[in-house]
Amino acid sequence: MEKGVEAEVDVNSRDKNLKEKLQEELQERQQTAGIYQALSVYCAGEDYPCHMPGHKRNPDSGEMADFYRIDITEIDGFDNLHHAEGMIKEAQERANRLYGAQETYFLVNGSTCGVLAAIMSVTQPGDEILIARNCHKAVYHAMILQGLRPRYYYPEIIQEYGIHDGVDAEKIGNLLDKYPACNAVVLTSPTYEGIMSDIRAAARAAHERGKALIVDEAHGAHLDLWDRGRQDDRTCEAGSASLGKGQQGAVAAGADLVIHSLHKTLPAMTQTALLHVNGSLVNRDRLRRYLTMLQSSSPSYVLMASMDSCIRFLKEQGEERFAFFEAQYDTFCKKTALCRHLRIGRMSDVTGKGYRLTAWDIGKIVISVKDTSMRGPQLYDILRQEYHLQMEMAADTFVLAMMTVMDTEEGWQRLADAICAIDDRIEKGTGGEMISGSNSIPCMGRSDLDSAECEAEMKNPSASYPEAQMTPSQAFHSAQEEIPIEDAAGRLAADFINLYPPGIPLIVPGEVIDGAMIRKLNKSLKLGLTVLGVSESGQIRVVREEGCR
């Protein structure tokens, strides 16, 4: 259906001639009709739903009735996600043409479903797999479901910001040589903070050894979609990411399986995602069977319509939106460059220092409070309470704001103005306090973890992770008990413990909990960070002593 038809569809209209005309036009243009347009036409028709869902698209079905009008099940003419042959197949092919993969699948269970299916499709139960230790917990869930034995790559730490660096492809190759039984490699790029790796080099290292490369690019669905032809950031001194087509995205870089969360960085509903497949190392029939198994047998047409609408929107307005995005980012950088205390993460701060990142996504605004009198949670609260700016997350030494092609000029302006104003207040703070209107906010002092222990952690990232004595699956399925954190030294974790967001495990089932980890958990709780895996009473789940024997 051509652009503009959607606007002509009035779902409340009873103009029979209009309905008939739209139905005829839909049939004539079935090859290009979007899912949303088709749903709108159908729901404006005379067909009565003697089928699921139970709301029956009845306008009297509660306060959310307006959202139900295009919510249907697999009825005649509307295809089936698990055996796509019609409009859903065509919608997936539209997405595939936009991203340039060999095959693309819609995911209604989010990128988590894609991660699970991707890993399980290239491994057998009990296999070994090489993963970057900073992967999302979904990767670890796949290991539990498949009973996999992990081998870890430990990314370095970008000391200026306390975040994980990109991966070293040479080290990936060396690890695959050391652990030849690994059937696949799993990496995250960009990271939650926007750090991108050289995926082309990583793919080459994996493929030379016959291994599949899976890239969790959940936060990079916007990459490769616009050819802006610029690899540096003029106003931010070679600042952040390239959005150039074919430059940074994992699909173009040759990864075998790539997972995108559309909703994270593009205009799509929460829980929408894509899975892209390339190359000959993936058994695609096996992948499809896992997708059928892991996804709902009643996939949401609302979510599928959102994905298709997002793809069509990007094709029609992407160039304009990305140009606006870049212009707003440049203006933001000019303003915040005047700050003397708060720092915005940019490539110029880390270039030439031996780090492995290839770019820094301009949509991930890392606002660092390192070497100031503040902590990340303080800045987070001030931005939310005083400036009505809801950040994505707060860490100890930074706050993360996520910006996309749909942010307004006002949004960018408000964020820049708030950062500059708070930076000025830090400068004027006296006596260990920060001025906050008529009230003072006490500055949180540095803890004993900020000295030698943190220094060693920065220099040797692998040392900050516990030793594993059981596989995640073995520990997860062992006899368990809950004990206070303080009593957990030397015990094996039976569940995940992670800061959320971003959901990267601090402890994985089967790993030994030591004193340093207990101090780290207590510090995180004291700072007010969200620590999942620790109960309100301060207890964690561990393997029973007899379960270790």
Give a yes or no: residue 54 inside a domain.
Answer: yes
Kindly tell me if the per-residue pLDDT of 68 is higher than 80.
Answer: yes
Is residue 391 within 8 A of residue 399, CB to CB? The reply is yes
- Which pLDDT band holds residue 9 (cuts at 50, 70, 90)? very low
CB atoms within 10 A of CB 444: 15
Same domain (yes/no): 225, 110 = yes
Same domain (yes/no): 94, 169 = yes
> Of the candidates 362, 335, 399, 416, which has an alpha carbon nearest to the alpha carbon of residue 527?
399
Calpha distance 249→259 (Å, rounded): 11
497 bridge partner residues? 507
Q: At residue 133, what is the residue type?
A: R
Residue 203 or residue 227, greater confidence: 203
Same domain (yes/no): 170, 274 = yes
Is residue 157 within 8 A of residue 349, CB to CB? The reply is no
> Which of 256, 290, 318 is at the close of a domain?
318
Same domain (yes/no): 365, 400 = yes
Where would I find the beta strands (DSSP E) of 80-201? 103-107, 128-132, 149-153, 157-158, 163-164, 182-188, 195-196
Q: Which two tokens stand for residue 14?
A: 């009873």
Same domain (yes/no): 114, 186 = yes
CATH number, domain with residue 518: 3.90.100.10
Give a yes or no: residue 460 inside a domain.
Answer: no
Kindly tell me the burial class for residue 415, based on how many C-beta atoms sit within 10 Å of its own C-beta (0-12, 13-18, 19 or more): buried
Overall average pLDDT of the 175-192 stretch: 97
Kindly tell me if the per-residue pLDDT of 488 is higher than 90.
Answer: yes
- Which pLDDT band holds residue 441 (cuts at 50, 70, 90)? very low
- The model's pLDDT over 361-418, given as tens digits with 9 standing for 90+, comes to 999 999 999 999 899 999 999 999 999 999 999 998 999 999 999 999 999 999 999 9
Same domain (yes/no): 255, 278 = yes
Same domain (yes/no): 130, 278 = yes
- Which pLDDT band holds residue 292 (cuts at 50, 70, 90)? very high
- Which pLDDT band holds residue 466 (cuts at 50, 70, 90)? confident
Please tell me what DSSP assigns to residue 280. Answer: S
Same domain (yes/no): 242, 313 = yes
Same domain (yes/no): 38, 85 = no
Is residue 263 within 8 A of residue 270, CB to CB? The reply is yes
Kindly tell me if the per-residue pLDDT of 457 is higher than 70.
Answer: no
Which range in 232-241, 249-258, 432-441 is most confidently predicted, on average pLDDT? 249-258
> Which of 288, 318, 348 is at the close of a domain?
318
Kindly tell me if the per-residue pLDDT of 71 is higher than 70.
Answer: yes
pLDDT for position 393: 95
Overall average pLDDT of the 513-528 stretch: 90
Same domain (yes/no): 231, 342 = no
pLDDT for position 434: 43
Tally the C-alpha atoms within 13 A of residue 312's C-alpha that lie toward its C-beta: 19
Overall average pLDDT of the 308-314 stretch: 97
Kindly tell me if the per-residue pLDDT of 89 is higher than 70.
Answer: yes
Q: At residue 239, what is the residue type?
A: G
Residue 491 or residue 10, greater confidence: 491
- The H or E element spanning position 506 is strand 505-507
Give a yes or no: residue 73 inside a domain.
Answer: no
Rama region for 529: left / alpha / beta (φ>0; ψ in -120 to 50; rest):
beta
Kindly tell me if the per-residue pLDDT of 447 is higher than 80.
Answer: no
pLDDT for position 484: 96
- The H or E element spanning position 270 is none
Give a yes or no: residue 447 inside a domain.
Answer: no
pLDDT for position 7: 45
pLDDT for position 448: 37
What is the chain's mean pLDDT, rounded?
Answer: 87
- The model's pLDDT over 319-347, given as tens digits with 9 standing for 90+, comes to 999 999 999 999 999 999 999 999 999 98
Calpha distance 506→483 (Å, rounded): 18
CATH number, domain with residue 401: 3.90.1150.150
What residue numbers bound the domain in which 110 lies?
81-318
- Which pLDDT band holds residue 15 (cuts at 50, 70, 90)? low
Give a yes or no: residue 277 inside a domain.
Answer: yes
HEC per residue, 195-253 = EECCHHHHHHHHHCCCCEEEEECHHHCCCCCCCCCCCCCCCCCCCCCCCCCCCCCHHHH
Same domain (yes/no): 88, 131 = yes
**Percent of the residues in the chain that have a pLDDT greater than 90, as a whole number:** 77
Total tally of structural domains belonging to the chain? 4
Give a yes or no: residue 452 inside a domain.
Answer: no
pLDDT for position 493: 97
Please tell me what DSSP assigns to residue 345. Answer: -
pLDDT for position 238: 37
CB atoms within 10 A of CB 536: 5
Kindly tell me if the per-residue pLDDT of 58 is higher than 50.
Answer: yes
Calpha distance 549→546 (Å, rounded): 6
HEC per residue, 363-395 = CEEEEECCCCCCCHHHHHHHHHHCCCCCCCEEC
CATH number, domain with residue 244: 3.40.640.10
> Which of 300, 318, 336 is at the close of a domain?
318
- The model's pLDDT over 138-171, given as tens digits with 9 standing for 90+, comes to 999 999 999 999 999 999 999 999 999 999 999 9
Residue with tokens 């930074």: 398
Kindly tell me if the per-residue pLDDT of 243 is higher than 70.
Answer: no
- Which pLDDT band holds residue 444 (cuts at 50, 70, 90)? very low
Is residue 231 within 8 A of residue 242, CB to CB? The reply is yes
Give a yes or no: residue 113 inside a domain.
Answer: yes
Same domain (yes/no): 200, 305 = yes
Give a yes or no: residue 501 inside a domain.
Answer: yes
